Structure 1
Amino acid sequence: MTNETTGKKERKLTPGQIVALVLVVLVLVGVTVAAFPFISSLTKPENLESFKNTLRSFGAGGFFIILGLQVLQVVVAVLPGEPIELLAGAMFGTWGGLFTCYLGLLIGTGGIFLAVKKFGYPLLTKFVSEEQLKSYKFLNNTTRLETLIFLLFFIPGTPKDVLTYVAGITPISLGRFLFLSLFARIPSVISSTFVGSSFIEGNVLTSVLVFAGVGVVGIAGILIHKHFIAKLQKEE
């Protein structure tokens, strides 16, 4: 007697995905362990005040430093954005940090989008691999393009800056893309600026707990993103 398979096959993580997930967890643990002595030292009022004074010493120039770093982070897609957002929150507070980061995101995202629209694939392939381009081929589906862009930018752990390059070759307009992508990123950015602001105000425990929660959500987002992309690719 032969067995016939019906329905959907069970989806399992590939060895490469498992290794990538383990590496992400190890990096997060390593960063936490490495930063623990510094974080512990800031529980002392004199050390915290000294750190505050160091940040204040940048003055108005600090705004342009953070702004420039945020633009650079968007352009160089492999650079992580969270450290910049945490620093922005520490220097300017939750809302001031959000404004600074969003201005940088607006400049960087808009600039990349327009550059890719003008120069097309010759520019795109310098920053995005062929494999990444193929994985987002489903964005050619114009009937739900805007919904997909919003969801991809909303899910934590997605390569948002790579998506900015890819979006430049889709039919979406600059205004719609900026609105959807920036609006979808509010939760992730504001959580980072909140952590930075809470930390500099001496609420170390709150900062650590929120940061840990964001890390867990980020790992879950990576898994969701992989499943979401695989499903869309199958439909395509």
Structure 2
Amino acid sequence: MFVNIDKKTVRLWAPRVALLGACLAAYFIAARLGWVPANPLAWLLEIGDRVKEELPKYGILAPVVYALFYALQIIVAPIPGAPLSYTAGFLFGPVTASIFSMLGIVLGSAVAFWLARRLGWPLLEKITPSSWLERWRNLSAVNSSILWFLLMLAPTADVFYFIAGLTTLSFRRFMLLVVLGRTPGIILSSVIGANVETFGVQWIFILIGAMLLVSLAGNWLRQRVERRALLAAQTTELDER
């Protein structure tokens, strides 16, 4: 059975895919002309190796600062933190990266949940574009632990931590869902980051394509959850009448 992706999803993702394709094409042309490194992975790894050589000087402080930064990007700029996990895997190794990435997620999601529960929708209206907020508004009516676990399992935007604070989920239950849902993805991205030196450029592009497909699947899942929430809200409203 094929996944039915609606026109709204196509309109949302088509410009992003087109932009990514244009950027890749521009890079290949620039590389052929000698304007940029022909092997971007080797260039980035060279920079990363220099950073890794400096990290031992800072001891435990380096991963602690990373965890705090991870938490801060959830609270201040609610965007996906997957690139941070890949970078941490490369710099700290898979185990340390996984542990401190999860510490950052737990801290950031806890603060986001608490702020949303205290300040409500006005907070989200200040930190989230209105066009996005309208698409996600129905999620505040979703109180199912299973559905929120699935949302945490998918690579969804960090703003969902705030939206969860507007549901009736308890703080403890939500934090448990965060840990259970986010841990597999964090471990996977940390392992990939730690082993990126063994990958060729072609594998990097394959991974980028895979991440796009997973993001599309996560967006499809979110829309299914939204529609279910909207249907439940309409049913409740009719029952009250």
TM-score computed with the length of structure 1 as normaliser: 0.74
Q: CA deviation at 1:13?
A: 2.6
CA–CA separation in structure 2 for the residues paired with 1:100 and 1:168: 23
Q: 1:148: how far off?
A: 2.0
Query: Structure 1: which amino acid aligns with 2:189?
Result: S
Q: Give 1:24's aligned residue.
A: 16
Structure 1 contact 113–165 (Cα < 8 Å) conserved: yes
For residue 134 of structure 1, report the CA deviation from its aligned partner: 7.1
CA distance in 1, matches of 2:22, 2:130: 31
The answer for the alignment partner of 1:86 in structure 2 is: 86
What letter matches 2:12 in structure 1? A
Matches within 5 A, 1:199-214: 199=196, 202-205=197-200, 208=204, 209-214=206-211
Aligned 8 A contact 1:91 1:197 in 2 = yes
2:113/2:161 contact within 8 Å kept: yes
Shift of 1:150: 0.9
- Check 1:107–1:233 CA distance in 2 against 1; reply closer, same or farther (3 A cut): same
> What CA distance in whole angstroms lies between the structure 1 residues aligned with 2:226 and 2:10?
16
1:57–1:235 Cα change, 3 Å: same
Secondary structure of the structure 2 residue equivalent to 1:80: coil
Paired letter, 1:137: N
Give the aligned residue type for 1:25.
V
Q: How many pairs were matched up?
A: 217
Q: Tell me, what secondary structure is at the counterpart of 1:57? A: helix
Partner of 2:173: 176
The 5-angstrom pairing of residues 39-118 of structure 1 reads 40=39, 42-43=41-42, 48=45, 51-59=48-56, 60=59, 61-118=61-118
Q: Which amino acid aligns with 1:150?
A: F
Q: CA deviation at 1:163?
A: 1.4
5+ long unaligned stretches in structure 2: 234-241
In structure 2, relative to structure 1, the CA distance for the partners of 1:20 and 1:38 (3 Å cut) is: farther
Gaps of 5+ in 1: 1-10
Q: CA deviation at 1:149?
A: 1.3
Rounded to whole Å, the distance in 2 between the matches of 1:118 and 1:18 is: 35
Match of 1:191 in 2: 188
- Percent pairwise identity: 22
Q: How big is the shift at 1:124?
A: 4.0
The C-alpha deviation readout for 1:166-205, integer Å capped at 9, x for no partner, is 1112222211111102211123222221221111xx2123
Provide the aligned C-alpha RMSD in A: 3.2
For 1:100 and 1:12, the matched residues in 2 are separated by 36
**Counterpart code for 1:189:** I
